[in-house]
Chain A
Amino acid sequence: MRLRRVKAIAVKEVRQIWRDPRSLMIALLMPFTQMFMLGYGVSLDLKHVPICTFDREGSQDSQALLKHFQASQYFTITRDVQNYPALVDAIDRADCKIGIVIPPDFSERLNDAGSASVQAVLDATDDNTANIAFGYALAVVTGYSSDVQLSRTERQARGLQQITPMTVQSRVWFNEDLDSRNFIIPGVVAVIMALVGAQLTSLTISREWERGTMELLISTPVRPSEVMVGKLTPYVVLGWIDAGSCLAVAALWFQVPFRGTLLTLFVTTTIFLLLVLGIGYLMSVLIRSQLGASQIALLVTMLPTQMLSGYIFPIDQMPTLIQNFTYLVYSRYYVTIVKAIFLKGSSLPALAMPTVFLLVYATAVMILAARAFRKSLD
């Protein structure tokens, strides 16, 4: 590899990028807009789910239960109805997601049998939301029933030693508020880098084929590796800027706690960048049209990263077959790394495994891309 040729190609590429300000703006602004769109758009937290109550008893006990719902940040009582048709109507109009129906014999059964049931009517058109909301509703009811239990025990055991029901205290580390945003945003950075990175380079070789400049370039003694290194270098710099802005938005705007070191982040991000830029370049080499190359690059980066990197859909909840498949999805390693650096403050040695995986993938893609570049019109 001759440095002189690499430099000639890199300088040429920088000039071409510079002379195409529209593409440059897209390359620099796309990560920002994506970051805000995905950052705000993707959240698994449900707060203030609208609910509708139908208290068929109207007792002190039933009102106490509804107070628990009222007090919960997960629910907002939007309507209080007096009959079933009104409840159905409220759900139909999407005024609420859940209807809580308290039966007329609620306090009676609570006092006699020590157990009473409450009905929850769910709008399952959005079954994910319904499921999560139902889980919260269950938690509210459980909270109430343990209150009842406690006061009853107190009454019965008056004068005796106080008995506290045993509870499990769980302690959450690294993402103390269990705020799904903290958990998702670092993954969003990975998704955006995979997307933008591959797009940046997917045009670089196919453009030369389409414009006819490739025929002359391959008639010169330039080597495929020189073309690759020369062309990727400016995009690594662009990629750093993009990654920097994404990570800055994550830490400064979305306030995701950053506990790691910048050096660890820089090293791992650079390896990931080389990998995704290499993938875009490889597509560009294999597919000699700009449109085709960018479409395929989108497909091979965006899709697996969205679905199988574990940035939003937990890998350990996937079927075993798919789980095994995710080991091939290079972005899962970077998602793991960024989450660990942000939330756990992990150091490079602690991240050795995923980093080595990334390095292996990046090297493989580079070798493939250099080999795939043929100086031939055949």
Chain B
Amino acid sequence: MTDRPDAGAQIVVEGLVKRFGRFVAVDGVSFNVGRGEILGFLGPNGAGKSTIIRILCGLLRPTAGRALVANIDVSRDPEAVRQRIGYMSQRFSLYRDLTVAENLRFFGGIYRVPASELAERMRFAIEMAGLSGREDALVATLAGGWQQRLALGCAVLHRPPILFLDEPTSGVEPTSRRRFWDLIHSLAGDGVTVLVSTHHMDEAEYCHRAALINQGRLVALDSPEALKRTALGGELLLVACEALGPALAALRQAPGVRDCSVFGSALHVLVDDAERAAHDLPAYLAANGIPSARATPIHPSLEDVFVHLVAADVAERSVAA
């Protein structure tokens, strides 16, 4: 786990713990996010992503640990933090019975955006969300992607330096999702710090760094490229053959193989040296009664990395327990 040293860190989290009764939702998480950085939270539902974001927005009190947002301790002065952040909650939370413009004007009033600037900023938010011409449409009548972009528009109306986006693309169709990430990148380009959670693995590729979270713990934190390069601790082979079950069992015993899992109609095999294994493994499989196997070195996806790291984390924990 590497952490880019960053003097201008906008979000600093140290040893954060949150318990709900006996359930540990967040289990000693630490990380920093720098100015203009996009940090992606990845993990299955219930991993604790939303809980961390809610603590950072001052909506939940941490059980232990410290969280600084814009150099302000969230537990000590949540109101000062709230002035400096924009938040998109996991559940859509704009007023469906108000129009696009009415929602924007409402949040403009709540954040006390100067009246002289409000019109200009509303225009910016409406254009950003692609809602020009639909200012007077009731939010309830908008499609999911538009609703989410409007929610982002409301969250940035007061120009916060820090944005928390909790699963902003869930329930949004793929083309709209792409467009949403373009928006996030343009905001980050303007210096906005973004912490965004998702359970779409492919979306981690859009982040500067991705944090993998499983059962309340931070399993890995690095850039997508570094994660793919180093987190596996080996190289990846795609093995195509018949009889996947017996092949899986055989490969787990093979020399130089560290891990093996089914991936679609083929196997992903983690080895020390892909070049050599690509040559050796088909012969090994043939010797074990599985003929005509083909092995090709491949680049791992983040999903590979995540599956591997979660499995390793679970194994480590069961050993500890």
Q: Which residues of A contact B (CB under 8 A)?
A: 2, 4-5, 7-9, 11-12, 15-16, 19-20, 211-222, 375-378
Contacts and interface: CB of A to CB of B under 8 A. Distances in A.
Interface string B123-135: 0000000000000
B97 A219 contact: no
B287 interface: no
A375 B98 contact: no
Interface in B60-75: 60-61
A212 B112 contact: no
Contacts of A214: 93
Contacts of B97: 15-16, 19-20
B92 A212 contact: yes
A216 B78 contact: no
Given A211-B96, A218-B59, A377-B59, A7 B109 contact: yes
Contacts of B96: 211
B139 to A, nearest CB: 11
A267 B83 CA distance: 39
A47 B54 CA distance: 68
Contacts of A219: 57-59, 82, 85, 87, 89
A378 B89 CA distance: 16
B158 to A, nearest CB: 9
Given A15-B98, A219-B89, A377-B54, A5 B59 contact: no
B102 A12 contact: yes
Contacts of B57: 219
Interface in B77-124: 78-79, 82-83, 85, 87, 89, 91-98, 102, 105-112
B98 A221 contact: no
A210 to B, nearest CB: 11
Contacts of B61: 376, 378
Given A12-B95, A221-B79, A375-B78, A5 B109 contact: yes
A216 B83 contact: no
Contacts of B111: 220-221
Contact of A2 (B82, B102, B112): B112
Contacts of B112: 2, 4-5
B106 A216 contact: no
A7 B118 CA distance: 15
Given A219-B82, A221-B79, A375-B58, 7 more contacts: A9-B110, A11-B106, A15-B102, A19-B98, A215-B93, A219-B57, A376-B60
14 contacts: A4-B109, A8-B106, A8-B109, A9-B109, A9-B110, A11-B106, A211-B93, A212-B89, A212-B92, A218-B59, A219-B85, A375-B58, A377-B59, A378-B60
A222 to B, nearest CB: 5
A215 B98 contact: no
A359 to B, nearest CB: 30
Q: Across the A-B interface, give the 9 residue pairs with the lowest CB-CB distance, nearest first.
A: A8-B109, A216-B93, A212-B91, A219-B87, A215-B89, A221-B82, A377-B59, A212-B93, A221-B83
Nearest to B112: A4
B110 A222 contact: yes
Interface in B25-72: 54, 57-61
A215 B95 contact: no
Contacts of A376: 58-61
A220 B110 contact: yes
Given A220-B110, A375-B78, A16 B60 contact: no
A220 B107 contact: yes
A84 to B, nearest CB: 71
A218 B54 CA distance: 11
Given A8-B106, A8-B109, A220-B82, A215 B94 contact: no
Contacts of B110: 5, 8-9, 217, 220-222
Contacts of B54: 377
A219 B91 CA distance: 14
A101 to B, nearest CB: 70
A8 B112 CA distance: 9
Given A16-B95, A16-B97, A16-B98, A215 B109 contact: no
A11 B109 CA distance: 10
Contacts of B87: 216, 219
Nearest to B54: A377
A213 B94 contact: yes
A240 B88 CA distance: 38
B88 to A, nearest CB: 8
A79 B89 CA distance: 77
Nearest to B164: A219
A331 B238 CA distance: 79
A375 B82 CA distance: 11
Nearest to A16: B97
- Scoring B54, B59, B79 by chain A CB atoms within 10 A of each residue's CB, the highest score goes to B59
